[in-house]
Amino acid sequence: MSVDLAKKEMPIGQPEPSGVEQHRNRTNDRYLLWIALFSIIFFIFALQQLDFDYGRLISGTRELPLMAVKMFPPNFSEWEDVLRSVAETFQMTWAATLLSVVVAFVLSFFCAANTAPSRWMFWFLRGFAALMRAIPVLVWAIIFVAALGLGPLPGVLALAIHSLGMMIKVFSDSIEEVDQRVLEAMRAAGAGWLQMIVRGVLPLVYTSFMSWALLRFDIDLRYATVLGMVGAGGIGWQLIRSMHMYELHDALFIVMVMFAMLYTVEMMSNFIKKRMINANGL
C-alpha cells in the first residue's frame, strides 16, 4: 500500500531512478568528495611548502594605501604621448588577433577530429597548437625583442603566435561539437570535403568562431598592455618607464587610461555578442 502511494506522489513524467543510476550518483558524489578533500589538503601543503612571510605581507598591505595617496592627483600633462601609446596598443592587438584568427580558421578544419583529412595531420597540428600555448606570451616577446630589437613588431608577433595556439584549439573544438549525423548525411549524399565544410560545418560554427575571436581580442589587448615592459611597445612601455622613474602621478593617469580602454573594449564585445545572439534568434 505504501509503495503504491509513493508511486502516486512522484511527479508525472519523471521516471523512478533505477538501482544502477542510484549507484552511479553515489559513486559520483564520493568522487567529488575525494576531489574536494584532496584540493583542501594540497592547498594546506602548498602554503606550508611555499613558506610565506605573513608578517611582510601584512606590512606591505599597509603600505599600499600610502602609495595610492602619493599617486594623487594624476598628471594629465603628457596625455598626447599616452594616447599615442594607446593607439599603438590597439594597432598591435588588432593586427595580432586578426592574423591569428585567419590562420587558425584555415588550420582548424585540418585538426578537428571529425573533419581532418588524415590522422597524422590532426596530431601534428594539435601538437603545434599546444606548443604555441605552452610558451607564455612574455617569453615569446622576449625572444622576438632579442631577435628583432625594440618596438611594436616583436609585440605583434608574440601576440599572434600565442593567440594562434589558442584559436586553433577552440576553433577545432567548436567544429568537433557539430552533430556527426549532419556530416554523415552529407557524405552519404555525395558531398565532397570542401562542400561539407562550407555548407555543413560553417553555418553551425560561425557564431562560435566570432565569439572566440572577440574573446581573444580582449585577452590580447590585456597582454599588449604589459608587453611594453619587455620593450615590445605600447602603453605598457609608458607605464614601466613612469614606475622606474618613480613618476607616480604619471603612472596613475596611465593606469586610468588602461582601465578605460579595457572596459570600453569589454562593453563593445558584449554588445556585439548580444547582437549576434539576437540576429540568430537564440
Q: Domain coordinates of the chain in residue numbers?
A: 16-68, 75-279
- Cβ atoms of 247 and 195 within 8 Å: the answer is no
> For residue 116, what are the CA distances in angstroms to 54, 162, 245?
53, 23, 53
pLDDT higher than threshold 70 for residue 30 = yes
pLDDT for the residue numbered 40: 92
Q: How large is the average pLDDT for residues 131-159?
A: 86
pLDDT in tens, 193-211: 777 777 778 878 888 888 8
pLDDT for the residue numbered 50: 78
C-alpha cell at 32: 567529488
Q: How large is the average pLDDT for residues 73-98?
A: 84
For 75-279, the fitting CATH number among 2.60.120.1570, 1.10.3720.10, 3.20.20.70, 2.60.40.1180 is 1.10.3720.10
Question: Quick check: bond before 73 cis, omega within 30?
Answer: yes
pLDDT higher than threshold 70 for residue 150 = yes
pTM for this model (two decimals) = 0.72
pLDDT higher than threshold 70 for residue 117 = yes
Q: How large is the average pLDDT for residues 8-19?
A: 50
User: Average per-residue pLDDT in the chain?
Assistant: 80
